[in-house]
């Protein structure tokens, strides 16, 4: 578009006095008598790029979320523009999101009003509209007041902070009431904790690829349960991880001479005749990252206490994790 503009605008016989563009949307000012001629010119500059035009109505023309209005004295004023189909719906105050996100909604809308409205009366009208809309979305007055009060402060703080040392940022799923406490604690150590949604509709519904057959899944944390032999029931079990496919690792567990496998020792040396079915090997989790997989394996071992595992896994889980339980995660 930049290349197109440089050619189309320099070769136009009567170019517009301004031409603002955002992606494929432009706002131009030119004399009405040259409008058709200019449209014809830009539509003939490139065979693949065609424009449609919209003229001002009642001295007003919208561009993105700005409405430009021509005043009787010839000056231009701007205010916030909303399409007629706009529903004024924002993140509801009672929804399961961090408070900072909700305060962000208030701050953003007020910031936009300050930035776009050139006339003080329009700005006041816009802010009244924002506050009414937010009240409908459950925002209490204190939240609106607090967000608008801290807006200026937050801006100056961020400017000052940028000059100082870099902050550490951590992202974790949002859990109501817990995230707020953690954020406060982390902040005292100079760590900024950001919350992300726990489950999104996209994660739940969008699964563009066919699921990999469990035997081909790479990087699994798996659970093998010995099925004994005949009527001889056996409760021994084992939790392990591998970066290869489940199938490849399970083959090793079945091999008689595999000294690195506790399962192999059990079914071939300690309890000959015992066996397990490959189809019954359960995938507890899946983690491509080597380090994270080690932690997860250790957490599953700590939670389930499988009888065949000699130790807590390749990662030494600290005692603080004793009371944290990990459950079979959903993977796809
Ligand atoms: Zn057994």
- The CA 250 to ligand 1 mean position distance, Å, reads 15
Residue 232 Cα to ligand 1 midpoint, Å, equals 9
Reading phi first (left if > 0) and then psi (alpha if -120 to 50, else beta), residue 229 is in: beta
Cα 300 to ligand 1 centre (Å): 20
Last residue of a domain, one of 158, 189, 206: 206
Q: What is the mean pLDDT of the chain?
A: 88
Q: How far apart are CA 99 and CA 134, in angstroms?
A: 14
Burial environment of residue 284 by CB neighbours within 10 A (0 to 12, 13 to 18, 19 or more): buried
Pair 220, 319 in one domain: yes
- Asked whether residue 64 is assigned to any structural domain, the reply reads no
253 C-alpha vs ligand 1 centroid, how far in Å? 13
The answer on 285 and 229 residing in a single domain is yes
- DSSP secondary structure code for residue 94 in this structure: T
Whether residue 255 lies inside any domain: the answer is yes
In angstroms, what is the span from residue 254 Cα to ligand 1's centroid? 12
Q: Which residues contact 221 (CB under 8 A, 6 or more apart)?
A: 239, 240, 241, 283, 284, 285, 286, 287, 293, 296, 297, 300
Q: 185 in a domain, yes or no?
A: yes
Over 50: is that where the pLDDT of 240 sits? Answer: yes
Full DSSP string of 209-276: SPPPPGGG-BSEEEEEE---BTTB----EEEEE-SSBHHHHHHHHH-TT-TT-HHHHIIIIISTT---
Torsion sign across C-alpha atoms 315, 318, 319, 325: negative
CA of 270 from ligand 1 middle (Å) equals 9
- Residue 16 pLDDT: 92
| Both structure tokens of 277 | 């079915």
Are 229 and 246 within one domain?
yes
Alpha-carbon separation of residue 136 from 87, 91, 108, 122, 130 (angstroms) = 12, 11, 17, 21, 10
pLDDT digits (tens, 9 = 90+) for 159-202: 555 556 677 899 998 888 899 899 999 999 989 999 988 777 88
User: Ligand 1: distance of its center to the CA of 328 in Å?
Assistant: 23
Q: Domain range holding 187?
A: 167-206
Residue 172 included in any domain? yes
Ligand 1 center from residue 258 Cα (angstroms): 16
Last residue in a domain, options 179, 206, 233: 206
Are 117 and 159 spatial neighbours (Cβ–Cβ below 8 Å)? no
Residue 4 has pLDDT above 60, yes or no: yes
Q: 267 CA to middle of ligand 1, Å?
A: 6
Q: In terms of domains, do 186 and 230 share one?
A: no
pLDDT value of position 295 = 93
Provide the β-strand partners of residue 20. Answer: 27
Is there a single domain that holds both residue 179 and residue 262? no
pLDDT tens by residue, 88-101:
999 999 998 888 89
In this structure, the answer to whether residues 241 and 306 fall within a common structural domain is yes
Ligand 1 centroid, distance to 311 Cα (angstroms): 18
How many distinct structural domains can be found in the chain? 2
Residue 298 belongs to a domain:
yes
Residue 240 Cα to ligand 1 midpoint, Å, equals 16
Q: List 97's β-bridge partners, or say none.
A: none
The answer to whether the beta carbons of residues 226 and 276 sit under 8 Å apart is yes
- How far, in Å, is the centroid of ligand 1 from the Cα of 304? 17
pLDDT at 242 > cutoff 90: yes
Whether residue 278 sits in one domain with residue 318: yes
Distance CA 139, CA 130 (A): 11
pLDDT at residue 108, as a whole number: 95
pLDDT bin (cut points 50, 70, 90) of residue 155 is: low
Residue 267 lies in a domain: yes
Same domain, residue pair 186 and 226 = no
Ligand 1 centroid, distance to 129 Cα (angstroms): 71
pLDDT at residue number 152? 64
End-of-domain residue from the set 206, 231, 258: 206
| Cα(238) to centroid(ligand 1), Å | 10
Q: Is there a single domain that holds both residue 200 and residue 255?
A: no
Instruction: Give the distance (Å) from ligand 1 centre to CA of residue 331.
Output: 28
Q: What per-residue confidence (pLDDT) applies to 69?
A: 95
Ligand 1 centroid to Cα of residue 223, in Å, is 14
């Amino acid at each position: 578009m930049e290349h197109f503009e440089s050619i189309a605008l320099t070769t136009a016989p009567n170019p517009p006095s301004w031409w603002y563009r955002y992606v494929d949307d432009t706002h131009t000012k030119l004399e009405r008598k040259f409008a058709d001629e200019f449209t014809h010119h830009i539509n003939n500059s490139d065979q693949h790029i065609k424009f449609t035009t919209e003229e001002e109505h009642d001295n007003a023309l919208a561009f993105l979320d700005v409405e430009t209005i021509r005043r009787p004295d010839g000056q231009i004023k701007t205010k916030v523009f909303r399409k007629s189909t706009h529903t004024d719906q924002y993140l509801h105050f009672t929804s399961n999101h961090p408070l900072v996100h909700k305060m962000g909604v208030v701050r953003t809308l007020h910031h936009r009003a300050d930035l776009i409205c050139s006339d003080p009366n329009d700005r006041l009208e816009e802010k009244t509209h924002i506050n009414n809309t937010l009240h409908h979305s459950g925002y209490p007055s204190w939240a609106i007041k607090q967000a608008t009060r801290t807006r200026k402060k937050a801006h100056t703080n961020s400017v000052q902070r940028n000059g100082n040392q870099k902050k550490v940022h951590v992202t974790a799923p949002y859990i109501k009431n817990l995230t707020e406490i953690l954020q406060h604690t982390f902040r005292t150590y100079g760590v900024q904790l950001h919350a992300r949604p726990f489950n999104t509709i996209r994660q739940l519904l969008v699964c563009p690829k066919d699921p990999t057959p469990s035997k081909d899944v790479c990087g699994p944390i798996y659970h093998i349960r010995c099925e004994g032999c005949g009527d001889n029931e056996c409760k021994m079990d084992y939790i392990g991880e591998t970066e290869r496919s489940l199938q490849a690792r399970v083959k090793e567990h079945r091999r008689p001479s595999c000294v690195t496998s506790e399962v192999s020792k059990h079914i071939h040396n300690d309890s000959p005749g015992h066996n397990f079915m490959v189809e019954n090997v359960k995938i507890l989790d899946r983690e491509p990252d080597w380090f994270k997989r080690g932690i997860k394996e250790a957490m599953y071992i700590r939670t389930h206490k499988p009888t065949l595992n000699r130790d807590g896994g390749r990662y030494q889980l600290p005692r603080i994790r004793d009371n944290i339980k990990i459950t079979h995660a959903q993977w796809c």
